[in-house]
Structure 1
Amino acid sequence: MRDLLSHGLRPLAERRLRHRLAALARPPGGPEDLLGLRVALFGIFSNRMGLGQGAELLARQLTAQGALVDRIDVAGELGLPGNLVRTEVRPVSELRAGGHDLVIVHLNPPEFGQLRTQLAPELFQVPIIGVFLWELDRVPRDWREAIQSCDQVWTPSVFIAEAITATFPDLADRLRVRPYAVDLDPMAQRTMPARLAARTRLGVDPDTFLVLTSFSMKSTLARKNPIAAIEAFRRAFPAEVNATHLIRCLDHAAFPEGLARMQAAASGDARIRVAAIGREESSIEDAYLACDVYLSLHRSEGFGLNLAEALSMGLPVIGTRWSLGDAIADHRLFIPVPSTLVAVVDDQHLYDGVAGARWAEPDIAFAADALSRVAASAHAPDTGPSKS
């Protein structure tokens, strides 16, 4: 879900930003009960990206808990184009000091810092909560000032909270784990008519066994690891088997070499479809409706929103177990893929500044066998796939 703007600020600008944030440090605190509180929730609401979907899920969760939520879109302030219309969203320009009891910022520290130092200080004279996401077992050292300028920091998984604690043990008392409530934003119901209609729209054979993988190149090719998913598909289904692997690749322009690698991995097998998808057409709902199983051989996940969404729709999910929260990993339809931990190597250099970090190398042979088993049981959906 961490698919935001850039690989960071220039060193001088970053040092200046960290210095300004350090002056805004505050002690841990903030409310534990949100009932009746007026909340300004800053997020990327007008752009189709994982962080935007996470902010919307959080808004619904806060509302369900009795908070009075104003969704404040900051896509423009961060230089992002608007490609999604939400009628209930307000611009930053409408904010007034004293209008809210609590500010929650659903951005990662670099963008949090930009926003915190750009906007009028009067807007932040209430408790501030930062909602931060990350994918490795350590976080960047330059997160300290952003964390210290929040009364609390929320994360959607224990894994992220543990990564922050491992890097900054002295800041652990600010952390709260609040998983996304995916069921508060339900998708279309999976029925046979809906499945067939979605396959028609996607140009997929109504009788094929359809495997779905979806990711953003901004989340890095190495971390999302779709080439391993392609290899698992090839091992699971010999050429004569009527199976299809649909791989949705968003933001391919962020790493053209990565798209070329995927196309090379898929070459020679017309059943493997690498679909380079623009943000304007990025809705995944048809793909969920059409497919028979979701496959994610990621090396690490901060939360795993696509996996959670697929499970919520009743889809079997085969995915790397490491880094996932229990709500996903313990689901009856989830098949956990074992892995070994290795040093992080990322050709897109997003994680170069995180010393000593590790992620998972999933067992492709296990994943291939799991795909075969799910395909064999595809005509008995009530039993669910076996985890053994």
Structure 2
Amino acid sequence: MSAFHTLGHRLWSLLPRSARREALFGAMAVLAPRVATPEPTGRGPLVLAGYLSARTGLGEGARRMLGAMRMAGLDPVPADLTAAHRQGPAISDAEPGRAVPEGPGTIVVHVNGPMLPWGLLALGRRAVAGKRIIAYWAWELPVLPADWRRGYAACHRIWAPSRFCAEVFARPGHPAPTIVPHPPPAPDPSPLSRADLGLAEGAFLSLCVFDAASSVARKNPLAAIEAHARAFGDDPARVLVLKTHGTGHAGPAWAPVAEAAARHRNVVVMDRHLPRRDLWALMRHADVLISLHRAEGYGLAIAEAMALGRPVVATGWSGSTDVMQGPGCHAVGYTLVPARDPQGTYDMGEARWAEADVGEAAAILRRIADEPGLREPQPFRLPAPDYAAALGVRG
């Protein structure tokens, strides 16, 4: 690398994160192909573009939509944006994307607002020309960051996974968002036992699942640790498992969680990537899923636990309220407080999110542990989305 490039990279890194985002997304919006006007009918090939090989929530959502569309009799062309948007490392066995056919049709772009123009640029002008563009967005706060504004000019329609998200995305002069929930998960656990996972066979097992690289503050594992400690102290027969990954990218936000977990001998931190079927196995062995999140756009882990028939103890606010329909769901009360996120993603002073009632959560955990009937498997799958109706191809 030349001295000029080295200096340029250093100067770029010295800019505030907000300035870097604005410069990057502004440049992409200028370079991106313009969507067709008036809105095309959408007749023609269906394309699903997104992070189809990324180990992220957005990647998992895109993969699930791809599979569900196929199950519904549609034949979407997969277009993987993982590498173009630097969302790696990629899943090694992911289905490769394909070239987007030119001409009329519909592209469902499974990336959030600020990234949408960049997504269209990665797909290419010829691929985008003449097509109807549907953006599939998810967000966890009742206020959108300013840099989402560019996404509205880069799509004709918006799909949202929950009522909460649809209300956030509604904007005068743009068609009302359509609620298209994630498809219900189909459990597929591997044969791993508790012993294989390094967990005690006879213990009451609470499970908290989150990606530390996304936002530790939003997922709020500290509240799960506190609720578990209030409910059970350090009882070795009552174990809390924090299943996470990406702690090395969480910065200072991870240290308080690691310190809190280390103070309790019955809290286990499982910091590693698990193949999808092994993660299903871990969920199957849990007695309860605990998610004292501060905000969710949807709540994939909650839907997965319900599909396995596991009880769920979760904050009763935001997008997860759409998901918590199963017989074993226990909504925890909350108060709304200013959103503060050391990792920066959700640090918006004008926005508020939920602070779960830890004492109430602890009482629910004790009740589930003391009453075996509350742990009887009660599998519940959410209704499948009607993609054909949502697409509403005209003409």
Same structural fold, with TM-score higher than 0.5 when normalized by the shorter chain: yes
Provide the residue aligned with 2:264 in structure 1: 269
Shifted more, 375-384 versus 300-309: the winner is 375-384
Q: 2:74 aligns with which of 61, 67, 71?
A: 67
Residues 88/266 of structure 1: CA separation in 2 closer, same or farther (3 Å cut): closer
TM-score (norm 1): 0.85
Structure 2 CA distance, aligned partners of 1:345 and 1:381? 35
Matched letter for residue 175 of structure 1? P
Residues 135/10 of structure 1: CA separation in 2 closer, same or farther (3 Å cut): closer
Structure 1 CA distance, aligned partners of 2:303 and 2:41? 28
Q: 2:23 aligns with which of 4, 12, 24?
A: 12
* Matched-pair contact (CA < 8 Å) for 1:45–1:56: yes
Q: Please show how residues 305-316 of structure 1 align to structure 2 within 5 Å.
A: 305-316=300-311
Shifted more, 209-218 versus 262-271: the winner is 262-271
* Matched-pair contact (CA < 8 Å) for 2:293–2:315: yes
Q: Does 1:117 align with 2:135?
A: no
Shifted more, 141-150 versus 289-298: the winner is 141-150
Q: Please show how residues 88-237 of structure 1 align to structure 2 within 5 Å.
A: 88-91=95-98, 94-98=99-103, 101-125=105-129, 126-165=131-170, 168-171=171-174, 173-183=175-185, 185-188=186-189, 197-237=192-232
Q: Deviations over 1:52-77 (max 9, x none)?
A: 11001111232233321122212121
* Matched-pair contact (CA < 8 Å) for 1:105–1:130: yes
Provide the secondary structure at the position in 2 that maps to 1:359. Answer: strand
Q: Does 1:246 align with 2:248?
A: no
Unaligned runs of 5+ in 2: 1-16, 379-395
Structure 2 CA distance, aligned partners of 1:80 and 1:14? 16
* Matched-pair contact (CA < 8 Å) for 2:47–2:107: yes
Structure 2 CA distance, aligned partners of 1:292 and 1:212? 8
* Matched-pair contact (CA < 8 Å) for 1:328–1:334: no
Residues 70/200 of structure 1: CA separation in 2 closer, same or farther (3 Å cut): same
How far off is 1:18 after superposition?
3.5
Q: Does 1:332 align with 2:320?
A: no
* Matched-pair contact (CA < 8 Å) for 1:26–1:149: no
How far off is 1:333 after superposition?
1.1
Residues 199/283 of structure 1: CA separation in 2 closer, same or farther (3 Å cut): closer
Structure 2 CA distance, aligned partners of 1:163 and 1:28? 25
How far off is 1:309 after superposition?
0.7
Provide the secondary structure at the position in 2 that maps to 1:78. Answer: coil
Unaligned runs of 5+ in 1: 1-6
Structure 2 CA distance, aligned partners of 1:334 and 1:31? 41
Provide the residue aligned with 2:356 in structure 1: 362
Shifted more, 119-128 versus 225-234: the winner is 119-128
Structure 1 CA distance, aligned partners of 2:71 and 2:41? 17
Residues 234/253 of structure 1: CA separation in 2 closer, same or farther (3 Å cut): same
Residues 82/346 of structure 1: CA separation in 2 closer, same or farther (3 Å cut): closer
Q: 2:370 aligns with which of 373, 376, 379?
A: 376
Q: Does 1:80 align with 2:84?
A: no
* Matched-pair contact (CA < 8 Å) for 2:337–2:355: yes
Provide the secondary structure at the position in 1 that maps to 2:359. Answer: helix
* Matched-pair contact (CA < 8 Å) for 2:164–2:297: yes
Q: Deviations over 1:134-176 (max 9, x none)?
A: 00001122212212221111111111111122xx3332x2411
Structure 2 CA distance, aligned partners of 1:229 and 1:102? 42
How far off is 1:321 after superposition?
0.8
Q: Does 1:40 align with 2:50?
A: no
Matched letter for residue 107 of structure 2? V
Provide the secondary structure at the position in 2 that maps to 1:59. Answer: helix
Residues 358/28 of structure 1: CA separation in 2 closer, same or farther (3 Å cut): farther
Structure 2 CA distance, aligned partners of 1:122 and 1:205? 56
- Aligned residues with identical type, % of pairs: 28
Provide the secondary structure at the position in 1 that maps to 2:144. Answer: coil
Provide the residue aligned with 1:4 in structure 2: none
Provide the residue aligned with 2:387 in structure 1: none
Provide the residue aligned with 2:9 in structure 1: none
Residues 283/218 of structure 1: CA separation in 2 closer, same or farther (3 Å cut): farther
Structure 2 CA distance, aligned partners of 1:84 and 1:90? 13
Provide the residue aligned with 1:284 in structure 2: 279
Structure 2 CA distance, aligned partners of 1:221 and 1:86? 28
* Matched-pair contact (CA < 8 Å) for 1:26–1:150: no
Structure 1 CA distance, aligned partners of 2:277 and 2:257? 19
Q: 2:345 aligns with which of 332, 346, 350?
A: 350
User: What is the RMSD computed on CA atoms of the aligned residues?
Assistant: 2.7
* Matched-pair contact (CA < 8 Å) for 1:48–1:282: no
Aligned residue pairs, count: 361
Structure 2 CA distance, aligned partners of 1:28 and 1:138? 29
Matched letter for residue 109 of structure 2? V
